[in-house]
Amino acid sequence: MTEYVPSTAPVPEGEIIVERGSTARDLGAKLNRSAGDVIRFLLLQGEMVTATQSLTDDMMEIFAAELGAEIRLVDPGEEKEAELLAKFFEEEEEEEEDVESEPRPPVVTVMGHVDHGKTLLLDKIRSANVVAGEAGGITQHIGAYQVEWKGHAITFIDTPGHEAFTAMRARGAQATDIVILVVAADDGVMPQTVEAIDHAKAADVPIIVAVNKMDRENANPDRVLQQLAEHQLVAEKWGGDTIVVEVSALQGTGIDDLLEQLVIVAEIEELRAPVDGRARGVVLEANLEVGRGPVATIIVQRGTIRVGDPIVAGAAWGKAKALINDQGKQIKSAGPSTPVQVLGFSEPPHAGDEVRTATDLAHASKLGETRAQRMRLSGHLPVAAAAGARLEDIFEQIQRGETATLNVVLKADVQGSLEACTESLKKLERDDVKLAFIRRGVGGINENDVQLAAASNATIIGFNVRPDKRSRDMAAGDGVEVRTYEIIYKLIEDIESAMIGMLAPEYEEVVTGEAEVREVFRIPRVGAIAGCMVREGTITRGSKVRFLREGTIIWKGAVNSLKRFKDDAREVQTGFECGVGLTDYQDLKEGDIIETYEEREIPRV
């Protein structure tokens, strides 16, 4: 064996971009070193890696430091995304520099403690000042609305509270210009009031205080001012600079005052944006709607979005098929600070995603797909904090007085249920049990999910979705726990029970057979028969069955009739064709999967 001689070639100068999750081979190549150089160095540090194994950030950084090289770690695809943005979108911004900016309406979020009157105040403002189309025109809840008060437009975000506000900021988006802090005059500053103050301050957004419920007998506005001063919000009346307005959302008093103050603050803030040019904005909410497809409510922040514009938000892209305003009317275009529903995205984007219109559909799709790829890739990275507990072990950990973190890969059938499951799960967090979503996504449970869960010691939770055969086998092989649910409260109940060490006996659904639909025949008076090929196990007449399309459960029931050629059969084995009679589910398609299963109780160890 020849003796190993470390390379002494000079390392490239300047900042070197390295993708996270690079292998010893990739890293070596960027730094003029061989994979062997990297492996040997890491071995001396006590880390055993192979040439094709992903390295952690730390490993890459110490190797670079050893060589005196300056590296910058980026997510896979980040470089490409930045390049695309610069190429397709930035030139427009240069053009826009010349475009005059004009005053734009303020975007307002109402925050405060629960029951202090946020919702009622928003409703009152809306009903009294909605840009009147027809008298009593129907307003649509699209997540935000705009009112006109004495010739000034004001946009309100319709989800009161700081959760949505914070979730957006966590994604780097800021949709709000002014916060209205609602404090009930009879209740005073409460914990969520303080949280709201903290969030607004952290975001550096001006606060206007609305002291509400002034109609109440025990209203005590002075006490509220006193408490606010303790949180560095000193009212003007007391020599500070915090605007305080006394209102009663119930009786509608003080609301004009409040709106007037909003207009004044908006003027002081000099909120401006160019009206011409491509639009840029932020997604407030998005979901998948039957018959309409992905629907996203956005607030335009600069420029104008028009029907037909190519659009991209996160990984979602498309052409704006229709724009719908807060009164449910189709509109042709929307300018700065206007809330509008956009139809035509390839998938629902996420709240907080930046929306842009492009000059060309190809630019939008390229950017969207690059981001999708980047998200997929980053799912494969070695997860830094992999110290999570499995559902089954979580109680032991709590008992030992440790803080347990339950790592979760959550998959659901549609965006709406994904959000609902996320919210419900988050509510279960306690001081000693934290939840970390390693991945959340729409669609069946696939091998990527299992891989990621295995790498990060996570439990996979599926809502109305199932793992396919290969991911099921992989999960069993890797010891990854996969739990699937069709009812939210069952899901919540299970997690809650796990937290108190009382996980109910688990019924394992053992898949007994799997067949692929090859063709669907319609026979008069009999109904539809699915011609299938049994791929795994045995399909038995009378057994429980579910139909899956791309991993999502589309129907559940029982196998009513089973035929081999023309004859009735009791069971059909792997490798044979069969006909499965469908009495009530008629909508099967070629490529769908028929999965039969039985339930068995798993003994607890």
CA 489 to chain centre: 21
Residue 250 binds to ligand GDP (criterion: CB under 6 A)? yes
Least distance between ligand GDP and beta carbon 224 (Å):
13
Between residues 255 and 482, which has the closer beta carbon with respect to ligand GDP? 255
Stretch that binds ligand GDP, among 248-256, 381-389, 484-492, 589-597 (CB under 6 A): 248-256
Closest CA to 288 of 173, 175, 420, 408: 420
Residue from 119, 226, 543, 561 in contact with ligand GDP (CB under 6 A) = 119
Between residues 248 and 512, which has the closer beta carbon with respect to ligand GDP? 248
Least distance between ligand GDP and beta carbon 209 (Å):
14
Residue 215 binds to ligand GDP (criterion: CB under 6 A)? yes
Q: What is the dihedral of CA 387, 393, 396, 397, to 10 degrees?
A: 10
Residue 117 binds to ligand GDP (criterion: CB under 6 A)? yes
Instruction: Give the nearest residue (CB) to ligand GDP.
Output: 117
Residue 255 binds to ligand GDP (criterion: CB under 6 A)? no
Q: Considering Cα of 117, then 123, then 125, then 128, what sign does the dihedral take?
A: negative
Instruction: Tokens 């007998």: give the residue.
Output: 217
Between residues 213 and 374, which has the closer beta carbon with respect to ligand GDP? 213
Contact between 306 and 278 (Cβ < 8 Å): no
Strand positions, DSSP E, 303-374: 305-306, 310-313, 316-324, 330-331, 333-334, 339-345, 354-357
Stretch that binds ligand GDP, among 115-123, 147-155, 274-282, 412-420 (CB under 6 A): 115-123
Least distance between ligand GDP and beta carbon 125 (Å):
12
Instruction: Tokens 């099967």: give the residue.
Output: 588
Residue from 139, 176, 193, 212 in contact with ligand GDP (CB under 6 A) = 212
Site residues (CB under 6 A) for ligand GDP, limited to 563-582: none
Q: Supply the DSSP string of 161-210, one letter for each residue.
A: SHHHHHHHHHTT----SEEEEEEETTT-S-HHHHHHHHHHHHTT--EEEE
Residue from 25, 40, 216, 434 in contact with ligand GDP (CB under 6 A) = 216
Rounded to 5°, the CA angle 596-601-603 comes to 140
CA 495 to chain centre: 21
Residue 118 binds to ligand GDP (criterion: CB under 6 A)? yes
Between residues 232 and 251, which has the closer beta carbon with respect to ligand GDP? 251
Stretch that binds ligand GDP, among 244-252, 444-452, 492-500, 596-604 (CB under 6 A): 244-252
Least distance between ligand GDP and beta carbon 251 (Å):
7
Least distance between ligand GDP and beta carbon 123 (Å):
8
Least distance between ligand GDP and beta carbon 339 (Å):
19
Contact between 207 and 233 (Cβ < 8 Å): yes
Residue 221 binds to ligand GDP (criterion: CB under 6 A)? no
Residue 109 binds to ligand GDP (criterion: CB under 6 A)? no
Which DSSP symbol is given to 486?
S
As a whole number of angstroms, the longest Cα–Cα distance in the chain is 93
Between residues 130 and 311, which has the closer beta carbon with respect to ligand GDP? 130
Least distance between ligand GDP and beta carbon 109 (Å):
13
Least distance between ligand GDP and beta carbon 215 (Å):
5
Three-state secondary structure string covering 230-244: HCCCCEHHHCCCEEE
Between residues 124 and 302, which has the closer beta carbon with respect to ligand GDP? 124
Between residues 212 and 405, which has the closer beta carbon with respect to ligand GDP? 212
Site residues (CB under 6 A) for ligand GDP, limited to 124-163: 160
Pairing of strands 293-302, 339-345: antiparallel
List, in sequence order, every residue forming a beta bridge with 156; answer none if it has no partner: 108, 145
Please tell me the distance from the alpha carbon of residue 504 to that of residue 488, in angstroms, as a whole number.
16
List, in sequence order, every residue forming a beta bridge with 288; answer none if it has no partner: 294
List, in sequence order, every residue forming a beta bridge with 246; answer none if it has no partner: 211
Residue 115 binds to ligand GDP (criterion: CB under 6 A)? yes
Between residues 112 and 352, which has the closer beta carbon with respect to ligand GDP? 112
Please tell me the distance from the alpha carbon of residue 170 to that of residue 466, in angstroms, as a whole number.
30
Please tell me the distance from the alpha carbon of residue 303 to that of residue 281, in angstroms, as a whole number.
9
Residue 442 binds to ligand GDP (criterion: CB under 6 A)? no
Between residues 247 and 394, which has the closer beta carbon with respect to ligand GDP? 247
Token code pair at residue 43: 């071995």
| Residues in contact with ligand GDP, shown as a per-residue x/- string from 530 to 569 under the rule CB under 6 A | ----------------------------------------
Residue from 249, 286, 445, 454 in contact with ligand GDP (CB under 6 A) = 249
3-state secondary structure of 133: coil
Least distance between ligand GDP and beta carbon 234 (Å):
24
Stretch that binds ligand GDP, among 171-179, 209-217, 360-368, 492-500 (CB under 6 A): 209-217
Under rule CB under 6 A, how many of the chain's residues touch ligand GDP?
A: 16
CA 573 to chain centre: 42
Residue 341 burial class via C-beta count within 10 angstroms: exposed 0-12, middle 13-18, buried 19 and up = buried
Least distance between ligand GDP and beta carbon 212 (Å):
5
CA distances to 288, 348, 350, 549, 598 from 419, in Å: 12, 12, 10, 21, 30
For residue 112, give the H/E element and its range.
strand 107-112
Closest CA to 22 of 65, 67, 57: 57
Residue 83 binds to ligand GDP (criterion: CB under 6 A)? no
Residue 213 binds to ligand GDP (criterion: CB under 6 A)? yes
Residue from 49, 51, 120, 322 in contact with ligand GDP (CB under 6 A) = 120
Contact between 205 and 196 (Cβ < 8 Å): no
Token code pair at residue 391: 């559902």
CA distances to 276, 389, 495 from 458, in Å: 48, 7, 14
Residue 116 binds to ligand GDP (criterion: CB under 6 A)? yes
| Residues in contact with ligand GDP, shown as a per-residue x/- string from 156 to 175 under the rule CB under 6 A | ----x---------------
Direct distance between the N- and C-terminal alpha carbons of the chain, in angstroms, rounded to an integer: 51
Residue 114 binds to ligand GDP (criterion: CB under 6 A)? yes
Between residues 249 and 588, which has the closer beta carbon with respect to ligand GDP? 249
Write out the residues near ligand GDP by the rule CB under 6 A.
Answer: 112, 114-120, 160, 212-213, 215-216, 248-250
